[in-house]
Structure 1
Amino acid sequence: MDTFLQQFQHLKIQLEDIIAATDNFNDDNCIGRGGFGNVYKGELSHSKGRSMVAIKRLDRRHGQGIPEFLKEITTLSSYSQENLISLLGFCYQGDEMILVYDYASRGSLDRYLNSPHLTWLQRLKICLDAAEGLRYLHDPRGAHQRLIHCDVKSANILLDDNWNGKVSDFGFINNGSRKRAAIGYCHHGSRYPWVL
């Protein structure tokens, strides 16, 4: 564990800073409740500067332990592309396991699908943005290992201030091989085969 923490020291964020940014995890700053814990917003200094961020406070009762937490940090820290939500940092202090991500101020695409305010050109651009993010994850020709997103849906496409689409929630995905079908296991335990 100490070796791991040293390797990712540049991403480490102190718990005190996260508590200050979220006003002690105040419900007023809670922007989502998910299968692995609550997500809060707050302004925080991180590996890329200082900005508004999304802070996922993991709850061990929902099935994510230390190995999954470390795997998510390892995986997410090595994938950077403009159409992916980036991992900006993490906190592992005491019983707290916290991940810090880019903040997408407009939330998820599913909130806007029936909105008359979202034009068809905006919708097309968001689709293309999501496709670029998925291409980056799935393409074996890049400098990174191919990853298969097992839960592509409008709730996992987040939107920033400028309506740019960003793929999220790809930390628990499966490695794909060039020479065989990749089997993906989604969060809900469903099994879906993809031939790549």
Structure 2
Amino acid sequence: MASTILITKFAHLQIPLEDVIKATNNFHDQNIVGRGGFGPAYKGQLQRSGKLIKIAALRLDRKQGQGDVEFWTEVTMLADLKHTNLVSIIGFCNEKDEKIIVTTYAAKGSLKEHLNNPKLTWMQRLKICVGMARALRYLHYDVERGYVIIHRNINSSTVLLDENHEVKLSGFKVSLKQPVNRMGRVILSEPIGTLGYIDPEIGKTKGVTHKSDIYSFGVVLLEVLCGRKAYIPNDDNRLLAPLAIHHYEKKTLKDIILPDVWNQMSPESLDKYSKLAYSCLEESGAQRPDANKIVKELEEALAFQLPRENLVRHPFFFVLSFLCPKFILF
């Protein structure tokens, strides 16, 4: 009954199965661009309004244990949400036992694929983090919707990147809506998400708040900084969060930062960034910063990095600043 109502409500977003099959070359394995708890994602080209556009088709695999609830949660969330740092829905297919969500295509794939890429500069990494933070701020604080959103699945796989490395946050299948006047209150829930990112406080409170997203976000900040995944099976330091907390408190963070990234950083940028990441991982959610503060702190970390970037790009000014420090004012 519920799905019938939703199909009617979102009828304008329905895409015939034959169109999706054609767009993905019959779900050809060569077009698979990712696999998650929901199922495989395929790239393709779809004819819409007389234009051929690049798309990603997320196809439900019921063997993964997910189904109708997750499918409709994703559809309804994406249909309501509009932000430059969120993936945009093009439509969906609910036909012949197929459930497929079609979104805009993120050409660079997920952030997870780029974590240890030495060519991804510190400046680019900072801009990606700012984009993530702005997406989170929109979910948590855009009250014009009448509700706020707890994402519940923030990780480096759900952070997608377009051809310009612009963030397109995805993965809304387990997200929760919360009335604006109840923001901050615990919503009873089992721990849901990806190992290495799940807020440990859920075990105490038996539920989630928007600060659970902040913890997961903090783990992604560490992944970006260290160039490694949040969880590495069969590794002595399989979980990144406690490892990074240890090094931060011992003032040995350099030992785990990606070397290529370390060589590019301004000390002020690193200090601002690492303090923020550490604060996101506070045991008590109440002690973690909110998305508004996170955006502000990351923008400041970015601003601290700009003078160093300018010196690298313009060595002539570097020489001048060395010979005459007052020549360049930052």
**Pairwise same-fold verdict (TM > 0.5):** yes
User: Paired residue for 1:125, among 121, 124, 127?
Assistant: 127
- Determine what percentage of the aligned residue pairs are the same residue: 42
**2:201 corresponds to 1:186:** no
| Partner of residue 75, structure 1 | 77
Bigger radius of gyration among the two? 2
User: Paired residue for 1:53, among 49, 52, 55?
Assistant: 55
Change (3 A) 1:117 1:20: same
| Partner of residue 9, structure 1 | 11
Which stretch of structure 1 is more off in the superposition, 36-45 or 185-194? 185-194
Higher RCO (CA 8 Å, separation ≥ 6 residues): 1
User: Paired residue for 2:105, among 84, 99, 103?
Assistant: 103
Q: For 1:16 and 1:49, how far apart are their aligned partners in 2?
A: 17
Q: Quick check: 1:79–1:144 contact (8 Å CA) kept in 2?
A: no
User: Paired residue for 1:169, among 153, 171, 174?
Assistant: 171
Q: Quick check: 2:32–2:43 contact (8 Å CA) kept in 1?
A: yes
Partner deviation per Cα, 1:35-89 (whole Å, 9 max, x = no partner): 1211100011358964111101101222223233223212221011110112211
Which stretch of structure 1 is more off in the superposition, 54-63 or 177-186? 177-186
Report the secondary structure of 1:115's partner residue. coil
Partner deviation per Cα, 1:111-155 (whole Å, 9 max, x = no partner): 222222112211111110010001111115232521112122222
Aligned residues: 196
Change (3 A) 1:156 1:65: closer
User: Please, which runs of 5 or more residues in structure 2 have no aligned partner?
Assistant: 203-207, 212-330
Report the secondary structure of 1:68's partner residue. helix
Change (3 A) 1:110 1:10: same
Letter in 2 for 1:181: V
| Partner of residue 44, structure 1 | 46
Letter in 2 for 1:44: L
The alignment yields a C-alpha RMSD, in angstroms, of 2.4
Change (3 A) 1:81 1:140: closer
Change (3 A) 1:194 1:179: closer
Which stretch of structure 1 is more off in the superposition, 50-59 or 135-144? 135-144
Change (3 A) 1:167 1:44: same
Write 1 or 2 for the structure with the bigger share of helix.
2
Letter in 1 for 2:209: W
Show structure 1 runs of 4+ deviating over 6 A: none
| Partner of residue 24, structure 1 | 26
User: Please, which runs of 5 or more residues in structure 1 have no aligned partner?
Assistant: none
Per the TM alignment, residue 20 of structure 1 is displaced from its structure 2 partner at its CA by 0.5
Letter in 2 for 1:121: M
Write 1 or 2 for the structure with the bigger share of strand.
1
Which stretch of structure 1 is more off in the superposition, 108-117 or 120-129? 108-117
